[in-house]
Copies of this chain bind each other. A is one copy, B any other.
Amino acid sequence: MAQATGPSRSQPATLSDVARLAGVSVATASKALNGRSQVRAETRQRVVDAAERLSFRPNQLARGLLAGRTGTVGLLTSDLEGRFSIPILMGAEDAFGAGEVAVFLCDARGDAIREQHHVRALLGRRVDGLIVVGSRTDPRPSLGRELPVPVVYAYAPSDDPEDLSIVPDSVDAGRIAVTHLLACGRTRIAHITGDPGYLAARERSEGALAALADAGLTPVEEPRFGAWSEGWGRAATALLLDRHADVDAVLCGNDQIARGVMDVLRERGRRVPEDVSVMGFDDWNVLTSGSRPPLTSVDLNLEQVGRAAAHALFSAIGGGRRSGIEALPCRVVIRGSTAPLS
């Protein structure tokens, strides 16, 4: 009974197979299966049964050829392994997956040539639209205006303001982070952050300083830019404590830095969160949940970015036209590393 009835090896059934088995014409079979009304109930049933029996799946290629739409979109990422592409990609896949659209995944590995190659391949496959996902928030070169399908940029905005880009609001992220620290009663706040070559570092910083200024405060020292690493967090904290022993909160540019900061604070005998509250950005679970105490962090809502990009692409395919950079809000996820001053 191994290879008896199953369609295991053979070619997939076609509509005309179904029609023949049901004893009707292909046109009728098509109508029956697509819920067109001009079919007698009994006939429809016969067709449906036949289709069922043959495990018939309508060939979407043929359908797409006819319809002009394929129900596929291209997801062009510049670095898959990057921490940021994945949640966005999930959000997009999620938003699409509900409906009837399939996603082509392409990773250009940050290489413009390869990216161009992928775009051509995707257009050849007649995708209905494109989402371009970057790995950092700095603007990236536009794919151009000449493309025959709509494009939405996610995370990394296009450098062409005519394009539509969906990004997390980094300035606001910095702002809400400081707001949280202020709410904890912290006033001697330091800021240790990453590579100043990254717009994310500069914008988060900008938002943080603005929120401080709004409260009539300044940080205990100039923000320390460095690298996005634990090592930098440790090094910067050592310097910080030497000069400003009275610091009562450290806002870190990302979770890795925050881990380094917390380690050195602990070693120097500072209690977290009692003496010094610490928070990071990105809310990368592997880092935030394992630390002592668990790390408060700003979640960039990247899945939301992905979903928004997908929806925007949807409406663009439907003819809608938006452009410019749309920044989505972030949110503070409070864990043990921040707490009210006691």
Q: How large is the interface on A (under 10, 10 to 19, 20 to 34, 35 or more residues)?
A: 35 or more
Secondary structure type dominating chain A contacts: mixed
Contact B12 A126 (CB under 8 A): yes
Distance in angstroms between the alpha carbons of A148 and B89 in the assembled complex: 29
Contact B107 A105 (CB under 8 A): no
State which of B87, B145, B229, B286 has its C-beta within 8 Å of the C-beta of A287: B286
Distance in angstroms between the alpha carbons of A145 and B6 in the assembled complex: 9
Instruction: For A104, list chain B residues within 8 Å (CB).
Output: 72, 102-105
Copies of this chain in the oligomer:
2
Instruction: For A12, list chain B residues within 8 Å (CB).
Output: 123, 126, 148
**A81 at the binding interface (Cβ < 8 Å):** yes
Q: List 14 A-B contacts (CB under 8 A).
A: A7-B146, A8-B147, A11-B68, A55-B146, A57-B123, A59-B65, A60-B124, A60-B125, A61-B70, A75-B105, A81-B86, A94-B107, A103-B105, A256-B286
B-binding residues in A (CB < 8 A): 6-12, 55, 57-62, 64-65, 68, 70, 72, 75, 80-81, 83, 86-87, 89-90, 93-94, 97, 100, 102-107, 114, 118, 120-126, 145-148, 229-231, 234, 256, 259-260, 263, 284, 286-287, 289-292
